[in-house]
Chain A
């Protein structure tokens, strides 16, 4: 069983943290991962920076830009994570846009990911149809779970298609927005969380986008398997450095 699947079997809510690899400093990646694990985060999403992150708001645009300026590349990231599994036990997911991955070489990317013990991938601009046709068997072969996003606008039919092609969890985008949005979680969002949970999908859902404090975290985990914090974490380490990550996590639980 994949580490993500094992984690999801545990009888607890998931707190997942996203950060951009190579930010604030190029070699912070491993330090951030260890600290997040030490403070009982359940799952980590490591962002591969891209120059044109279509689905991201200002915070992740900026951290991506800085990370690229710092010299972060997929090659560098893989070499930083070479010994990941000597210490880190929790599941780690790589999240990045398709273009840098294709330029690195999709096959090589999957093999390398497996080698260092990556458990899943989130590629926001890889639609499910193209995944099924061109990527699915390669990801399966390397034991990489592909995580798909759904939004309040996603049709039921499409949610079922995504569920059928998922083996980990479904990334439930909280409202129609890019990352880091300051839109409040609206009543609509909760209706949509209810709708998803009533669909009795095979995969649990974890909520992301706009989760920035205890209140939003507590509210969404009532309706889902967990929550993902991204922009709020990046803003925190930008302002406070990476030493006091524990303080940030305590704001959530």
Chain B
């Protein structure tokens, strides 16, 4: 298993747990327990029950007929947008809230960018009756107002991260600082496959339900359990990791990851970590990072708050370095156009994050009988205001 995390938490050259001593006991507790818990029969039972009855899984694998015709290939959409709360994020939060209960934690903290992970966290906290504090950058609070309101309705406290660029990376810093200040009773639900080991592996395993379902569903529809291409957008990389997981060792499956280029790779306003990044250490993980020559983290930019992160999960850095995955980057305008296109071709209004993934249809050539699976990671409700402004709707 070339793509599995090793004992020290590394995927090849990336990963690890570069954490201040203050976080060591919490991370160590997780590291010692996460596999035992998530592989236990009790956990599996509760997890599967909630995924099916509360989240609405399995999500459909939908054959997009009009889109397929237009691009003369076979396109399937894995409908994570139909999950309760509107994105794949809840697969992870359901898993982690069960884990937190198992570890006897009384309080949950989380960071959020687009607010999807914040909503998914606030939701499971309401479900379990656990206190919830969400950190969100001041800038994101403004551009994702509906999600802020949702979190509040769900009973979570939303705290604004005022440091740095006031977006996702700063919200993550604030959440980690909160955890340092509350080391005993609090569990930190990270929202993507980032952060110190064991988070990247833990979140990947919880999101892996996506590819597990795709296997069964494809077998039913196509008579084989693997596609030719898997395509997902990458912020930190959790929806992508979930889609890829069960196919990482199947070399017949080509993997494509789509990053946000913002206003263009060389515009100075971008979030294309793979294209612009160098290896470094942030949020406890050694991975590719957008940074200047002095090692200061560069503030990223993307029109989608969920892709606005200057790093990428260590698994993805490894998939890039080993050339297991092909990474492409897509500008704001291409992504926005695809938000509109998917709405009008398939009647599905996607999250702007999700819309990025579809842009590869314009730049890559596929054969008529190629099977493509796109991860439709989330729905566009939260982005309506951005769409309205952009298209003057």
Partner-B contacts on A (CB < 8 A):
50-55, 57-58, 61, 65, 68, 73-75, 97-104, 124-127, 130, 148-151, 153-155, 158, 173, 176-178, 181, 183
**Complex: how many Å from CA A208 to CA B98?**
36
Contact across chains for B180 and A177 when beta carbons are under 8 A apart: yes
Interface string of B294-318 (1 = CB under 8 A from A): 1111000000000000000000000
Closest residue of chain A to B17 (Cβ to Cβ) is A127
List A contacts of B181 (CB < 8 A).
176-178, 181, 183
Shortest beta-carbon distance from A151 to chain B in Å: 5
Contact across chains for A130 and B16 when beta carbons are under 8 A apart: yes
Q: Is the C-beta of B223 less than 8 angstroms from some C-beta in chain A?
A: no
List A contacts of B283 (CB < 8 A).
52, 54
Q: Is the C-beta of B22 less than 8 angstroms from some C-beta in chain A?
A: yes
Residues A100 and B18 in contact in the complex (CB < 8 Å), given A54-B283, A61-B163, A177-B181: no
Contact across chains for A103 and B21 when beta carbons are under 8 A apart: no
Contact across chains for B280 and A103 when beta carbons are under 8 A apart: yes
Contact across chains for A74 and B177 when beta carbons are under 8 A apart: no
Shortest beta-carbon distance from A34 to chain B in Å: 26
Interface string of B3-20 (1 = CB under 8 A from A): 000000000000011111
Shortest beta-carbon distance from B185 to chain A in Å: 11
Q: Is the C-beta of B268 less than 8 angstroms from some C-beta in chain A?
A: no
Contact across chains for A176 and B281 when beta carbons are under 8 A apart: no
Q: Is the C-beta of B100 less than 8 angstroms from some C-beta in chain A?
A: no
Residues A104 and B18 in contact in the complex (CB < 8 Å), given A99-B280, A99-B281, A178-B177: no
* B173, B183, B284, B296, most chain A CB atoms within 10 A: B296
Contact across chains for B294 and A74 when beta carbons are under 8 A apart: yes
List A contacts of B182 (CB < 8 A).
176
Which 6 pairs from chain A and chain B are nearest by CB? Answer: A103-B295, A100-B295, A51-B296, A149-B21, A55-B20, A153-B25
Interface SS of chain A: helix, strand, loop or mixed? loop
Q: Is the C-beta of B169 less than 8 angstroms from some C-beta in chain A?
A: yes
List B contacts of A99 (CB < 8 A).
280-282, 289, 291, 295, 297
List A contacts of B19 (CB < 8 A).
125, 127
Closest residue of chain B to A55 (Cβ to Cβ) is B20
**Which residues of chain B from 267 to 284 have any CB-CB distance to chain A below 8 Å in the complex?**
278, 280-284
Contact across chains for A154 and B169 when beta carbons are under 8 A apart: no
Contact across chains for B24 and A127 when beta carbons are under 8 A apart: yes
Closest residue of chain B to A72 (Cβ to Cβ) is B294
Contact across chains for A178 and B25 when beta carbons are under 8 A apart: no
Contact across chains for B18 and A125 when beta carbons are under 8 A apart: yes
List A contacts of B18 (CB < 8 A).
98, 125-127, 130
Q: Is the C-beta of B129 less than 8 angstroms from some C-beta in chain A?
A: no
* A51, A73, A101, A153, most chain B CB atoms within 10 A: A51
**Complex: how many Å from CA A153 to CA B297?**
30
Residues A52 and B24 in contact in the complex (CB < 8 Å), given A99-B281, A100-B294: no
Q: Is the C-beta of B293 less than 8 angstroms from some C-beta in chain A?
A: yes
Contact across chains for B280 and A149 when beta carbons are under 8 A apart: no
A-B contact pairs, 11 of them (CB 8 A): A50-B295, A52-B297, A58-B163, A65-B163, A104-B295, A125-B284, A127-B24, A151-B183, A176-B183, A177-B181, A178-B177
Q: Is the C-beta of B230 less than 8 angstroms from some C-beta in chain A?
A: no
Contact across chains for A54 and B173 when beta carbons are under 8 A apart: yes
List A contacts of B22 (CB < 8 A).
55, 149, 151, 153, 173, 176-178
Shortest beta-carbon distance from B168 to chain A in Å: 12
Contact across chains for A52 and B173 when beta carbons are under 8 A apart: yes
Q: Is the C-beta of B176 less than 8 angstroms from some C-beta in chain A?
A: yes
**Which residues of chain B from 247 to 286 have any CB-CB distance to chain A below 8 Å in the complex?**
278, 280-284
**Complex: how many Å from CA A100 to CA B292?**
9
Contact across chains for B177 and A98 when beta carbons are under 8 A apart: no
Q: Is the C-beta of B56 less than 8 angstroms from some C-beta in chain A?
A: no
List B contacts of A151 (CB < 8 A).
21-22, 25, 183
Shortest beta-carbon distance from B9 to chain A in Å: 11
Contact across chains for A102 and B25 when beta carbons are under 8 A apart: no
Closest residue of chain A to B180 (Cβ to Cβ) is A178
Closest residue of chain A to B280 (Cβ to Cβ) is A99
**Complex: how many Å from CA A148 to CA B22?**
11
Contact across chains for B20 and A68 when beta carbons are under 8 A apart: no
Residues A124 and B177 in contact in the complex (CB < 8 Å), given A98-B281, A99-B280: no
Contact across chains for B281 and A124 when beta carbons are under 8 A apart: no
**Complex: how many Å from CA A100 to CA B282?**
11
* A54, A65, A74, most chain B CB atoms within 10 A: A54
**Complex: how many Å from CA A135 to CA B21?**
17
**Complex: how many Å from CA A75 to CA B19?**
25
Closest residue of chain B to A171 (Cβ to Cβ) is B21
List A contacts of B24 (CB < 8 A).
127, 153-154, 158
Shortest beta-carbon distance from B132 to chain A in Å: 21
List B contacts of A126 (CB < 8 A).
18
* B18, B176, B181, B283, most chain A CB atoms within 10 A: B18
**Complex: how many Å from CA A130 to CA B32?**
18
Contact across chains for A155 and B25 when beta carbons are under 8 A apart: yes
**Complex: how many Å from CA A150 to CA B23?**
10
Task: Name B21's contact: one of A73, A100, A124 (CB within 8 Å).
Answer: A124
